[in-house]
């Protein structure tokens, strides 16, 4: 009886200190998550270097981390600096009234009167709708500009998080296999199940991050390029925004280039508008429709609709980190239920 009481008390203590430790680490969850992602994504490179250089875990982990910084972190930092500069300029133009969302909507209404008449025939108050859309567009524009401005002001916090992420990633690269084995020993789920779940975690994280980032970079670069060719202001700013939005499957970058194409039609620039619409539908859209199923859906072994809903839900709950966390949770959900059906619900 006493032994059972002690066991329950210890398990209660274990749960309490684990939850407390989780709360302590809560401010660093983003850095911890991306450190784990870096370790998982660059694990094949680390294994290759280990075969080439021999059993030198510190050297191999440091070299892997330096390669990661060279091909990922440093370009992102330079891109972020340029993005913030264009974002600040956009914010200033918005505040000065040089950019007026209400005027843009008026131009769109005048250019597409048939759409306005169709709304009236449906009994929709177009004036009130226009005011609400203008107000919403203004708020979204100001929010985007403020967030860009805030990124520039929180550089120190970003650098601290980046340093913590890279610091932890070094130890995860060096000791990752040992930590996985330790977790397998500690978790009371059964070694085979834990191996399967850890394998699924690695597969989905690697496929989702690499796949979505490749699609985002390609769509952002293509979008920024056509904006630059057509002399649309802020091509780098809108290219980066399109890259972020492309993390949302199906719609993504079209949230930016399609309204810009309509605006170009409304202002009479028919050639630029037609080029942008055709380029967006064929070139940018093709990058999403072709690359995403190949790089994300195939490797995660998730249906396209599950990838779509889990990505949007993940971003809604966890912010930018959700584009990985959402599909990861979905994949673990399906893997866990597959184990349950195989082991506990067999005929």
What does the pLDDT look like over 173-202, one tens digit per residue? 888 778 877 777 777 777 677 777 777 777
Distance CA 160, CA 31 (A): 9
Provide the pLDDT for residue 83.
67
Report whether pLDDT(222) > 70: yes
Let me know the angle formed at the C-alpha of 56 by 52 and 62, rounded to the nearest 5 degrees: 90
Residue 266 in this model has a pLDDT that exceeds 80: no
Lowest mean pLDDT among 124-133, 229-238, 310-319: 124-133
Distance CA 99, CA 232 (A): 13
Instruction: Print burial letters for 128-145: b (CB count within 10 Å at least 16), e (below 16).
Output: eebeeebeeebeebeebb
Residue 96, pLDDT > 70, answer: no
Note whether 247 and 311 are within 8 A (CB).
yes
Output the pLDDT for position 130.
Answer: 59
Local confidence band at 127 (pLDDT 50, 70, 90 cut-offs): low
In which region does residue 96 sit, left (phi positive, over 0), alpha (psi from -120 to 50) or beta (all else)? alpha
Greatest CA separation found in the chain?
85
Rounded to an integer, the average pLDDT of 267-286 is 83
User: What is the average pLDDT value for the chain, to the nearest integer?
Assistant: 75
Is the pLDDT reported for residue 152 higher than 70? Answer: no
The yes-or-no verdict on residue 125 having pLDDT over 60 is no
- Structure pTM? 0.66
Average pLDDT over residues 31-36: 85
Of 212-226, 261-275, 287-301, give the lowest mean pLDDT range: 287-301
Mean of the pLDDT values across residues 54-71?
86
pLDDT-derived band at 88 (thresholds 50, 70, 90) equals: low
């Amino acid at each position: 009886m006493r032994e059972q009481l002690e066991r329950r008390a210890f398990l209660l203590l274990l749960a309490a200190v684990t939850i407390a430790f989780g709360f302590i680490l809560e401010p660093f969850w983003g850095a911890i998550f991306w450190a784990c992602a870096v370790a998982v994504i660059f694990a094949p490179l680390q294994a290759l270097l280990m075969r080439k250089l021999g059993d030198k875990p510190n050297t191999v982990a440091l070299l892997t981390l330096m390669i990661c910084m060279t091909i990922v972190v440093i370009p992102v930092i330079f891109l972020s600096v340029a993005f913030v500069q264009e974002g600040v300029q956009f914010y200033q133009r918005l505040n000065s009234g040089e950019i007026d969302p209400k005027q843009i909507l008026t131009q769109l209404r005048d250019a597409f009167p048939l759409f306005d008449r169709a709304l009236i025939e449906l009994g929709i108050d177009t004036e009130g709708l226009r005011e609400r859309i203008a107000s919403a567009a203004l708020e979204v524009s100001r929010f985007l500009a403020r967030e860009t401005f805030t990124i520039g002001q929180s550089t120190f916090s970003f650098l601290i998080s980046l340093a913590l992420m890279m610091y932890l990633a070094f130890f995860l690269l060096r000791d990752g296999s040992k930590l996985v084995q330790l977790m397998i020993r500690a978790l009371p789920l059964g070694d085979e199940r834990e191996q399967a779940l850890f394998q699924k975690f690695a597969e989905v994280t690697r496929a989702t991050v690499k796949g979505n980032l490749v699609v985002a970079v390609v769509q952002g670069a293509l979008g920024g390029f056509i904006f630059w060719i057509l002399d649309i202001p802020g091509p780098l700013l809108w290219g980066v925004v399109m890259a972020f939005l492309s993390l949302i499957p199906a719609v993504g970058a079209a949230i930016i280039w399609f309204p810009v194409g309509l605006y170009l039609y409304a202002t009479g620039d028919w050639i630029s508008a037609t080029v942008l619409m055709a380029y967006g539908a064929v070139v940018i859209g093709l990058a999403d429709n072709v690359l995403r199923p190949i790089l994300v859906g195939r490797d995660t072994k998730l249906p396209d609709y599950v990838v779509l809903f889990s990505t949007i839900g993940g971003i809604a709950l966890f912010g930018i980190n959700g584009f990985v966390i959402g599909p990861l949770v979905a994949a673990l959900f399906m893997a866990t239920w597959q184990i349950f059906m195989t082991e506990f619900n067999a005929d």
